[in-house]
């Protein structure tokens, strides 16, 4: 884990840095050699250098131990370097999933596009501005419980969005990429 046992000595958790605590937690999680590691916001409380350290440690662990790692995170930029696949949830609904490079570079759901547009460290090609994705200020409010879960925040919501969309496979590089949006093929033309 890159921890110096001598230097840590008999320190209690409150005497460790945030990065050291995360690495101790990872050591405790993998000591029984699990096949699957679930990691919930593993780097959200860390500064940039510790974040990179812990992410590269997770990446090394999965390769060296053949460990499957599921990372739950609000920070798409952190995932970009280590994940193979990403599943994007909005209010508990799966709105898009696919290979991480495809989803981040060519998001097909307006919510994923808003996330990538708002994240400073995600790749910049084909990136839209958040203002191109937000509803016009004078739009009628959308009833919270009707149709598509993202409709109240979606610039492209139309009458058909009153029906909840089902995830549908979309064409990409050949690996499964699915999107739950009635306008997955057309909303980008309406970003102005």
Per DSSP, the three-state class of 131 is helix
According to DSSP, the residues that pair with 69 across neighbouring strands are: 37
Name the residue nearer to ligand SF4 (CB basis): 20 or 178. Answer: 178
Site for ligand SF4 contains 182 (CB under 6 A): yes
Diameter of the chain measured on Cα atoms: 65
**Member of 26, 76, 161, 170 binding ligand SF4 (CB under 6 A):** 161
Of 22, 42, 57, 156, the one binding ligand SF4 (CB under 6 A) is 156
Q: Is 110 in the site for ligand SF4 (CB under 6 A)?
A: yes
Taken in order 118, 120, 122, 124, is the CA torsion positive or negative? positive
Work out whether 165 is an interface residue with ligand SF4 (CB under 6 A): yes
- Is residue 94 within 8 Å of 83, Cβ to Cβ? no
Of the candidates 71, 157, 177, 188, which one interacts with ligand SF4 according to CB under 6 A?
A: 157
Contacts to ligand SF4 from residues 37-66, by CB under 6 A: none
Return the range that interacts with ligand SF4 (CB under 6 A); candidates 55-63, 75-83, 100-108, 175-183: 175-183
Minimum gap (Å) between residue 86 Cβ and ligand SF4: 17
Which listed residue (96, 151, 178, 188) binds ligand SF4 by CB under 6 A? Answer: 151
Name the nearest CA neighbour of 145 among 98, 105, 93, 100.
93
Q: Is 90 in the site for ligand SF4 (CB under 6 A)?
A: no
Nearest to 40 by CA among 53, 56, 58: 58
Q: Which stretch binds ligand SF4 (CB under 6 A): 16-24, 45-53, 69-77, 143-151?
A: 143-151
Residue in the block written with tokens 């046992």: 5
Buried b / exposed e along 86-120 (16+ C-beta atoms within 10 A): bebebeeeebbbbbbbbbbbbbbbbbbbbbbbebe
Q: Residues interacting with ligand SF4, by CB under 6 A?
A: 110, 148, 150-151, 154, 156-157, 161, 165, 181-183, 187
């Amino acid at each position: 884990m890159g921890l110096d046992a001598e230097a840590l000595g008999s320190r209690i958790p409150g005497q460790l840095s945030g990065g050291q605590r995360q690495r101790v937690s990872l050591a405790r999680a993998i000591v029984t050699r699990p096949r699957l590691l679930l990691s919930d916001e593993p780097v959200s409380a860390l500064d940039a250098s510790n974040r990179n350290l812990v992410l590269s440690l997770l990446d090394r662990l999965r390769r060296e131990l053949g460990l499957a790692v599921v990372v739950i995170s609000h920070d798409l930029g952190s995932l970009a370097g280590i994940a193979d696949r990403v599943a994007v949830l909005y209010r508990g609904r799966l709105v898009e999933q696919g290979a991480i490079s495809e989803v981040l570079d060519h998001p097909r759901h307006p919510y994923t596009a808003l996330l990538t547009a708002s994240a400073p460290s995600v790749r910049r090609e084909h990136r839209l501005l958040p203002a191109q994705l937000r509803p016009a200020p004078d739009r009628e409010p959308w009833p919270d419980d009707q149709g598509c879960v993202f409709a109240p925040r979606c610039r492209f919501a139309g009458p058909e969005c009153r029906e909840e969309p089902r995830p549908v496979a979309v064409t990409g590089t050949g690996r499964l990429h699915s999107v739950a949006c009635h306008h997955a093929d057309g909303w980008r033309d309406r970003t102005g």
